[in-house]
A and B are shown apart, each in its own frame.
Chain A
Amino acid sequence: MTAPFHNRLPRLNLRTVSQTTLDPAEVRKFQAMASKWWDLQGEFAALHSMNDLRVPFIRDNLLNVHGVQQLGKPLAELRILDVGCGGGLLSEPLGRLGADVLGIDPVEDSVRTAEMHSSYDPNLRERVCYQACTLEELAEEEAEGFHAVIASEVVEHLADLDAFASCCRQVLKPGGSLFITTINKTNLSYTLGIVAAEQLLRIVPSGTHDWEKFISPEDLERLLESSGFYVEAIRGMMYNPLTGVWSWQKSTAINYALHAIKRKEEPQPEQTWAESENLDKPGQAPSYS
């Protein structure tokens, strides 16, 4: 078992920092952030409730690939990278299931909030670490270090998806899993995802999403296939604003989740998707059963 993350990477030691160098204004700001991320009825309520879908999705797919590691800790011995972890909403449940999780986010405030929240639980303290940095910065130091990378509600905020996919490939072990949840680029996603969610119902703070940056599952799959992945599963997700509950659905017209696996051989962009045995027709992945 290799050394835990905090020995290998430079990281903030929150406890020291928060006790000696922070000024009260900073502490107050953390407190404000803390109540936002972890207020279950607050601005991030929909993300909290999305855990009901994404945690089982990740857990079950990893169990399929790796088998049961330990009774009571389904993800034990697995190292997972949570890209764009925010306040640690997804990192914590994965840590509770036994995984060694590194959560990264370019926003330092979010990372501190995440560290503070997980610091009270000794189990989480051991399992879950955070770092304020970008994926590119991390990729230089962590080649093939992770069994799984998760980018949940992240790719719709990125400028360069090709670079992102290539960094993911860099940090993943061969045969490692990439999990993405994001929003499709359709008329429906514009109506519901932007107009309704942001402007009318305020499920998401206004200005969070830019429809131009949404990507369809077909395009995302093509992109990943040409970056050295094969897409193993795609499932549609839907949010019910009245009940606050997410559910799986056949249609990927609004939100969807995707599981891809890093190929063990070198990628060949021109040939990849035409040759792939997964495809009935271009851009079609097998449905998850």
Chain B
Amino acid sequence: MFTFTKVKLAVFGIGRQCVAGRALNGARAACRGFASSSPDDESSTCENELYDIVISGGGMVGTAMACSLGLGAWDHVVNMRCKPYNKMQVWDACSDALITFDKENLQDEMAYIVENDVILASLTKQLQTLSDHVEVQYRTKVVKYTWPRPYHVAESIPWVQVTLANGKTLHTKLLIGADGPNSMVRRESGIPTVQWNYDQSAVVAVLHLSEPTENNVAWQRFLPTGPIAMLPLSDTESSLVWSTSQQHAEELLLLDEESFVDAINSAFWSNENHSELVETAGSLFRTALSVLMPDSGSARQLPPSVSGIGPKSRVMFPLGMGHATEYIRHRVALIGDAAHRVHPLAGQGANLGFGDVACLTQVLSQAAFNGKDLGAMQHLLEYETERQRHNLPMMAAIDLMKRLYSTNAAPMVLLRTLGLQATNALPPLKEQIMAYASK
């Protein structure tokens, strides 16, 4: 495997952001426009400031990209805070249907929950060890991007020019846009986006549990207003992600701590949304399933109750879906939320971004080993094809789930109740789902 040496990266970022939501976009850099002048000026600027790769955006995904082009950050994460979980229970507020995911015997870890801050801190620490090859510029904004012509024309600069607010110009062979859902790189390069708002916001907070517990289960309940999820962080703390209507989210933020805690507990525990029709149909179906497949049922467990929240940890951010129709242009690649934005209900947003990082790193390593120009379309197209093939089905599934669970109209509830119960009864199908989400 080809390792990059002397790859100069410049990563722009502001400090890290919120706890359990997606990290918000990093900084943008600004540059005065570069005017072509006499060859001496040109060559001296180029000499000092021609980077192999510039990453715009210092959130989790951008920093991960910088590290992976330099190598290795998981060790730092394990030394900070991360929590493996063995089991996941997801259920409906409008019926008794539930689905659980776990590996056999609850022995192996299914997945890890890691706070964004922790990921970011580890990656930053790793970046410091790579300071020969990776330069990080904090608190810098981009004012302008100038794109190169598609093929070489004499006397024009063939690189991407990044104009920073502090007056510096950077030239790079490849610009990676990791600057979040409102990506300036994507906008400025003219890549069209398919997007819509969900009229929802997610409220996130750190929850203190009433009593310490093994806390190795992730919980998510679909309320008519949106899913509420509790994800383990340690034996005494969990992370809350509550997606709900814009108005409700604002109300939740304004509640005092005690009322907020009550609201959370009630959301997980109350049964006020059940309808008789659906309950009857559901229990009939469950009986039928247990006759056909005796070992397939799951016992319903109740999530731990919450007693308090972490100080100043309550924030909200708007939700929407977005997909860039292209991930790449000549000398440009988009990764993370800049390329695709999803609802947090499946906890996959950042993971899709990390998948982009892994794929792009591999593609760039191979290209470098073949002596290629890093910004060339040929290998960037391979990255785009592979990631779109993986991301689009995931995004469609998440959007579908969101819509399916956004109503308490009886027919939809019945459909999803029976569907969820059926899926729960099919371990091979559940294994496939887990495998896909872990890719």
**Chain A interface residues (CB < 8 Å from chain B):** 15, 19, 27, 30-31, 34-35, 38-40, 51-52, 55-56, 59, 70-74, 92-97, 116-117, 120-122
Contacts of A55 in B (CB 8 A): 370-371
Shortest Cβ distance from residue B385 to the other chain A in the assembled complex, whole angstroms: 14
Contact A92 B371 (CB under 8 A): yes
CA of A94 to CA of B370, assembled, Å: 8
Q: Does B393 contact A (CB under 8 A)?
A: no
Q: Identify B153's interface contact among A31, A70, A96, CB under 8 A.
A: A31
Shortest Cβ distance from residue B205 to the other chain A in the assembled complex, whole angstroms: 45
Q: Identify A116's interface contact among B46, B154, B373, CB under 8 A.
A: B154
Which chain B residue shows the least CB distance to A120? B158
From B3-11, B123-131, B345-353, B398-406, give the one contacting chain A. Answer: B3-11
Which chain B residue shows the least CB distance to A39? B151
Which chain B residue shows the least CB distance to A70? B5
Q: Identify B151's interface contact among A15, A38, A51, A93, CB under 8 A.
A: A38
CA of A34 to CA of B50, assembled, Å: 22
Contact A35 B153 (CB under 8 A): yes
Q: Does B420 contact A (CB under 8 A)?
A: no
10 contacts between A and B (CB under 8 A): A19-B39, A35-B153, A51-B370, A51-B371, A59-B370, A59-B371, A71-B3, A93-B372, A120-B157, A122-B47
Name B297-355 residues within 8 Å CB distance of A. none
Shortest Cβ distance from residue A74 to the other chain B in the assembled complex, whole angstroms: 8
CA of A52 to CA of B153, assembled, Å: 24
Contacts of A116 in B (CB 8 A): 152, 154
- Lowest 7 CB-CB distances: which A-B pairs, in order? A93-B371, A72-B5, A96-B371, A97-B371, A38-B152, A39-B151, A31-B154
Contact B47 A34 (CB under 8 A): no
CA of A96 to CA of B373, assembled, Å: 8
Q: Does B2 contact A (CB under 8 A)?
A: yes
Contact B371 A35 (CB under 8 A): no
Contact B154 A34 (CB under 8 A): yes
Extra pairs beyond A38-B152, A72-B2 (12, CB < 8 Å): A15-B39, A31-B153, A31-B154, A40-B151, A59-B370, A72-B4, A72-B5, A93-B370, A97-B371, A120-B157, A120-B158, A121-B50
Contacts of B88 in A (CB 8 A): none
Q: Does B434 contact A (CB under 8 A)?
A: no
Contacts of A74 in B (CB 8 A): 369
Q: Does B222 contact A (CB under 8 A)?
A: no
Q: Does B377 contact A (CB under 8 A)?
A: yes
Q: Does B159 contact A (CB under 8 A)?
A: yes
CA of A92 to CA of B158, assembled, Å: 15
Shortest Cβ distance from residue A210 to the other chain B in the assembled complex, whole angstroms: 30
Which chain A residue shows the least CB distance to B372? A93
Contacts of B151 in A (CB 8 A): 34-35, 38-40
CA of A110 to CA of B46, assembled, Å: 24
Q: Mark B143-164, 1 if CB is under 8 A from A, else 0.
A: 0000000011110011100000
Shortest Cβ distance from residue A189 to the other chain B in the assembled complex, whole angstroms: 27
Contacts of A95 in B (CB 8 A): 371
Contact B46 A120 (CB under 8 A): yes
Contacts of B5 in A (CB 8 A): 70-73
Contacts of B372 in A (CB 8 A): 51, 93, 96
Contacts of B369 in A (CB 8 A): 59, 74, 97
Shortest Cβ distance from residue B160 to the other chain A in the assembled complex, whole angstroms: 12
CA of A72 to CA of B69, assembled, Å: 12
Q: Mark B202-233, 1 if CB is under 8 A from A, else 0.
A: 00000000000000000000000000000000
Contact B6 A72 (CB under 8 A): yes
CA of A187 to CA of B429, assembled, Å: 56
Contact A52 B3 (CB under 8 A): no
Contacts of A71 in B (CB 8 A): 3, 5
Contact B39 A27 (CB under 8 A): no
Contacts of B6 in A (CB 8 A): 72
Which chain A residue shows the least CB distance to B39? A15
Contacts of B158 in A (CB 8 A): 120
Contact A30 B154 (CB under 8 A): yes
Known A71-B3, A122-B47; contact A117-B152, beta-carbon cutoff 8 A: yes
Shortest Cβ distance from residue B67 to the other chain A in the assembled complex, whole angstroms: 17
CA of A34 to CA of B47, assembled, Å: 23
CA of A70 to CA of B6, assembled, Å: 12
Known A55-B371, A72-B3; contact A122-B152, beta-carbon cutoff 8 A: no
Among A39, A97, A116, A120, max chain B CB count under 10 A is at A120
Which chain A residue shows the least CB distance to B157? A120
Q: Identify B46's interface contact among A30, A72, A122, CB under 8 A.
A: A122
Q: Mark B1-33, 1 if CB is under 8 A from A, else 0.
A: 011111000000000000000000000000000
CA of A38 to CA of B149, assembled, Å: 12
Contacts of A73 in B (CB 8 A): 5
Known A15-B39, A30-B154, A55-B370; contact A122-B3, beta-carbon cutoff 8 A: no
Q: Identify A94's interface contact among B2, B153, B371, CB under 8 A.
A: B371
Contact B39 A122 (CB under 8 A): no
CA of A19 to CA of B89, assembled, Å: 71
Which chain B residue shows the least CB distance to A33? B154
Shortest Cβ distance from residue A282 to the other chain B in the assembled complex, whole angstroms: 36
Q: Identify A52's interface contact among B39, B43, B46, B370, CB under 8 A.
A: B370
CA of A39 to CA of B39, assembled, Å: 24
Which chain A residue shows the least CB distance to B4? A72
Which chain B residue shows the least CB distance to A87? B152
Shortest Cβ distance from residue A55 to the other chain B in the assembled complex, whole angstroms: 5
CA of A95 to CA of B370, assembled, Å: 11
CA of A279 to CA of B293, assembled, Å: 68
Contacts of B157 in A (CB 8 A): 120
CA of A172 to CA of B317, assembled, Å: 66
Contacts of B173 in A (CB 8 A): 121
Contacts of B376 in A (CB 8 A): 40
Shortest Cβ distance from residue B159 to the other chain A in the assembled complex, whole angstroms: 7
Shortest Cβ distance from residue B363 to the other chain A in the assembled complex, whole angstroms: 14
CA of A97 to CA of B5, assembled, Å: 11
Name B137-184 residues within 8 Å CB distance of A. 151-154, 157-159, 173
Known A72-B2, A72-B5, A120-B159; contact A34-B152, beta-carbon cutoff 8 A: yes
CA of A116 to CA of B158, assembled, Å: 11
Shortest Cβ distance from residue A38 to the other chain B in the assembled complex, whole angstroms: 5
Which chain B residue shows the least CB distance to A125? B43
Shortest Cβ distance from residue A58 to the other chain B in the assembled complex, whole angstroms: 9
Name B372-409 residues within 8 Å CB distance of A. 372-373, 376-378
Shortest Cβ distance from residue B173 to the other chain A in the assembled complex, whole angstroms: 8
Shortest Cβ distance from residue A118 to the other chain B in the assembled complex, whole angstroms: 10
